């Protein structure tokens, strides 16, 4: 209950995206891990603590039009959860921790099927070979878009700005460094454009042929 394995993440970007989507008129469910952030206005928040809980909450929210997976979910978790704090004992050999692989939330939501969202957006935080790794991750996970950012030594987790690249099947577009709110608003504009195109395409397919 005290010591844990996780990934560094403030949650600021995900919360900013949820807020921007709500302001654009979307019905938003925010599945959130433990963060020190207030809930965005007009957003339904589901709080979770494990990858299994996050996946279950995301699947319970389906069907949705759009899934944005911004959470930094740990790839691994301990097999056994202790009931009490693990105490340090200098007279004993350090404990070994057996790990299991966590479910891959992004990959599961990207899996083709009737419940798959029309648009699945993932995130990649990389320390090297940013664009190559991001492009490979998008293909491996099966998501439609991926926002990639460099978290190397000159970039700090929890900062209020982000420098990202949008990776899609059409290519890679660099976005200028901006505040996380600005990044969120730009992503929402891109999402709105995509959904409008989807709506028009669907309308064209359903239009009867001219006599």
Report how far residue 88's alpha carbon sits from residue 21's, in angstroms, rounded to the nearest whole number.
Answer: 45
Quick check: 69 and 106 in contact, CB under 8 A? Answer: yes
Decide if 7 is catalytic: yes
Three-state SS for 206? Answer: helix
d(CA 161, CA 155): 10
Distance CA 60, CA 77 (A): 22
User: Which residue in the list 7, 91, 162, 196 is annotated as catalytic?
Assistant: 7
Burial 142-170 (b: 16+ CB within 10 A, else e): bbbbbbbbbbeeeeeeeeeebbbbbbbee
Torsion of Cα atoms, 33 then 34 then 37 then 39, to 10°: 50
Active site residues: 7
């Amino acid at each position: 209950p005290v010591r844990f394995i996780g990934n560094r993440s403030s949650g600021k970007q995900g919360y900013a995206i949820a807020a921007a989507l709500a302001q654009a008129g979307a019905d938003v469910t925010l599945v959130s891990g433990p963060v020190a952030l207030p809930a965005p206005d007009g957003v339904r928040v589901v709080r979770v603590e494990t990858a299994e809980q996050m996946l279950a909450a995301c699947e319970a929210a389906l069907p949705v039009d759009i899934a944005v997976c911004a959470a930094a979910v740990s790839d691994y978790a301990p097999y056994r959860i202790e009931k009490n704090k693990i105490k340090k004992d200098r007279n004993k050999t350090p404990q070994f921790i057996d790990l299991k692989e966590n479910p891959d939330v992004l990959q599961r939501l990207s899996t083709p099927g009737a419940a798959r969202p029309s648009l699945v957006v993932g995130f990649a935080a990389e320390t090297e070979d940013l664009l190559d790794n991001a492009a490979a991750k998008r293909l491996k996970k099966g998501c439609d878009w991926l926002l990639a950012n460099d978290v190397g030594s000159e970039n700090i987790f929890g900062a209020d700005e982000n420098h990202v690249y949008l990776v899609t099947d059409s290519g890679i577009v660099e976005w200028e460094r901006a505040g996380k709110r600005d990044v969120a608003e730009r992503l929402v504009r891109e999402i709105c454009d995509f959904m409008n195109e989807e709506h028009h395409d669907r309308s064209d397919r359903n239009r009867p042929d001219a006599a």
